[in-house]
Amino acid sequence: MATAQQIPDILSAEFAANPYPAYRAMREHAPLIWHEATGSWIISRYDDVERAFKDKESVFTTDNYNWQIEPVHGRTILQLSGREHAVRRALVAPAFRGGDLQDKFLPVIDRNARELIDTFRHTGTVDLVEAFATRFPINVIVDMLGLDKSDHERFHTWYTAVIAFLGNLSGDPRVMADGERTRVEFAEYMIPIIHARRDNLGDDLLSTLCAAEVDGVRMSDEDIKSFCSLLLAAGGETTDKAIASLFANLLLHPEQLAAVRADRSLIPRAFAETLRFTPPVHMIMRQTAVDVEVSGGTIPSGATVTCLIGAANRDSSRYAEPDTFDIFRDDLTTTTAFSAAADHLAFALGRHFCVGALLAKAEIETGVNQLLDAMPDLRLADGFDPVEQGVFTRGPRSLPVVFTPTSDPASA
């Protein structure tokens, strides 16, 4: 029987290369591990991670974000609870669902996908990560906020530094300094823009945030800046990784790619299964308010808990053949996959369920549809294996494909 000492450490090169065997060993033999280097308790079983995310009794809190997120974003909605959280969420949520998403932002998503694809549709070969996945979600968010897309490289640098800070499990001081510097630089960039937008409201998301009011509460400049910082980092990194992983999974399963190509209504299924099989975020932390019994023992009050999404999403007690990518599986409900009632754990659950889940779904559906239209016969470049990289967030760093070039429909 494996022990915690025999399971690869989450900071090891072996774990980074392929965490899934370690996840299986944790679930089966060491579902609760004390990890000295990160000062946290690691949980890996679906039921335990689901409980931590769905918690309605404030047993598993987000107090850990006071040190994990606030240094780079400022105080965000993720740290709030009770009425304060409910009001702040009510201020921002309408922009990411219903009429605003459909009427105002779907055209933005469609235009940005088309503009990027037009730069390579005629080439016959492209790295989908470099040319599309890393650019598309950031361009969409920047456009939604009404910011200057020519500053793309600055936004990309900032969100990369933020994600590195959040995933800095080893406590690298240089990564910490880069993240903290990003908070200052982003504030210097955004606060003047927020002031100007308050004086001249438009039809963009930033104007919506400036004008939003619920129960007499409005967002301060700092609230808006912190939310925009969180949106760029979380919305950029997760959708970037999701697009890359979705195509990698489909390209490695040609029969499923053919099915999606023939029936585009399967795209949400492919996205949901990608979120389960290869989630963009592999771990999220919580903090206990009291002693908590979980599989394998007791987590003491005030402890940091590392919830392994990547492990829980492959728990055989929840999914049949969990290590198989199957968009047709019947134990993952697509109709709820992008809501707080999701079966998978990639967007978390409960009151801190990802507010941008439907935005991500709209981006994926639009992007995948347009990419398949432009590259109907796309396939992996000869000899390339789309290996995942990363620990905190994870996905292919490169995805070179070849296809028959097509002309720009507009010019045609």
- The yes-or-no verdict on residue 146 having pLDDT over 50 is yes
Burial class (CB in 10 A: 0-12, 13-18, 19+), 214: middle
Q: Which long-range CB contacts under 8 A does 400-403 form with residues at least 24 apart?
A: 400/125, 400/126, 400/127, 400/128, 401/125, 401/126, 401/127, 401/128, 401/247, 401/251, 401/375, 402/124, 402/125, 402/378, 403/124, 403/125, 403/126, 403/374, 403/375, 403/376, 403/377, 403/378, 403/379
Per-residue pLDDT band for 3 (boundaries 50, 70, 90) equals: low
The C-alpha atoms of residue 54 and residue 192 are separated, in whole angstroms, by 38
- Res 81: pLDDT: 66
- The yes-or-no verdict on residue 5 having pLDDT over 90 is no
Residue reference for tokens 């409900």: 333
Per-residue pLDDT band for 8 (boundaries 50, 70, 90) equals: very high
- Res 254: pLDDT: 96
- Res 99: pLDDT: 67
Residue reference for tokens 């950029």: 236
Measured CA distances, 19 to 296, 376, 391 (Å): 20, 33, 8
Q: Residue 314 is encoded by which pair of tokens? A: 């492959």
The C-alpha atoms of residue 215 and residue 355 are separated, in whole angstroms, by 20
User: What are phi and psi for residue 19, nearest 5 degrees?
Assistant: -80, -10
- The yes-or-no verdict on residue 336 having pLDDT over 50 is yes
- Res 66: pLDDT: 85
Q: How many residues does the chain have?
A: 412
- Res 205: pLDDT: 87
- The yes-or-no verdict on residue 57 having pLDDT over 80 is no
Rounded to an integer, the average pLDDT of 308-328 is: 97
Across 30-44, 107-121, 197-211, least confident range: 197-211
Nearest to 64 by CA among 339, 364, 331, 284: 284
Rounded to an integer, the average pLDDT of 336-364 is: 81
- The yes-or-no verdict on residue 84 having pLDDT over 80 is no
- The yes-or-no verdict on residue 72 having pLDDT over 90 is no
| Three-state secondary structure call for residue 26 | helix
β-bridge pairing 40-43 and 304-308: parallel
- Tell me the CB-side half-sphere exposure of residue 207, using CA atoms within 13 A: 13
DSSP-derived letter for residue 129 is I
- The yes-or-no verdict on residue 80 having pLDDT over 70 is no
Rounded to an integer, the average pLDDT of 53-65 is: 85
- The yes-or-no verdict on residue 411 having pLDDT over 50 is no
- Res 412: pLDDT: 42
Q: What is the pLDDT of residues 271-284, one digit of tens each?
A: 999 999 999 999 99
- The yes-or-no verdict on residue 388 having pLDDT over 80 is yes
- Res 85: pLDDT: 65
pTM: 0.91
Per-residue pLDDT band for 406 (boundaries 50, 70, 90) equals: confident
Give me the percent of the chain exceeding a pLDDT of 90.
Answer: 62
- Res 249: pLDDT: 98
On average, the pLDDT of the chain sits at: 89
Burial class (CB in 10 A: 0-12, 13-18, 19+), 36: exposed
Comparing 71 with 5, the larger pLDDT belongs to 71
What single letter denotes the amino acid at residue 370? Q
- The yes-or-no verdict on residue 390 having pLDDT over 60 is yes
- Res 305: pLDDT: 97
Rounded to an integer, the average pLDDT of 181-208 is: 92
- Cβ atoms 371, 246 nearer than 8 A: no
- The yes-or-no verdict on residue 250 having pLDDT over 60 is yes
Helices (H), strands (E): how many in the chain?
A: 18, 14
Q: What is the pLDDT of residues 201-235, one digit of tens each?
A: 988 889 988 888 777 778 889 988 988 888 888 78
- Cβ atoms 345, 53 nearer than 8 A: yes
- Res 55: pLDDT: 82
Rounded to an integer, the average pLDDT of 373-402 is: 94
Structural domains for the chain:
15-375+383-402 (1.10.630.10)
Measured CA distances, 53 to 47, 286, 345 (Å): 10, 8, 8
Rounded to an integer, the average pLDDT of 342-350 is: 83
Query: 235 Cβ partners below 8 Å, 6+ apart?
Result: 137, 141, 356, 359, 360
Per-residue pLDDT band for 15 (boundaries 50, 70, 90) equals: very high
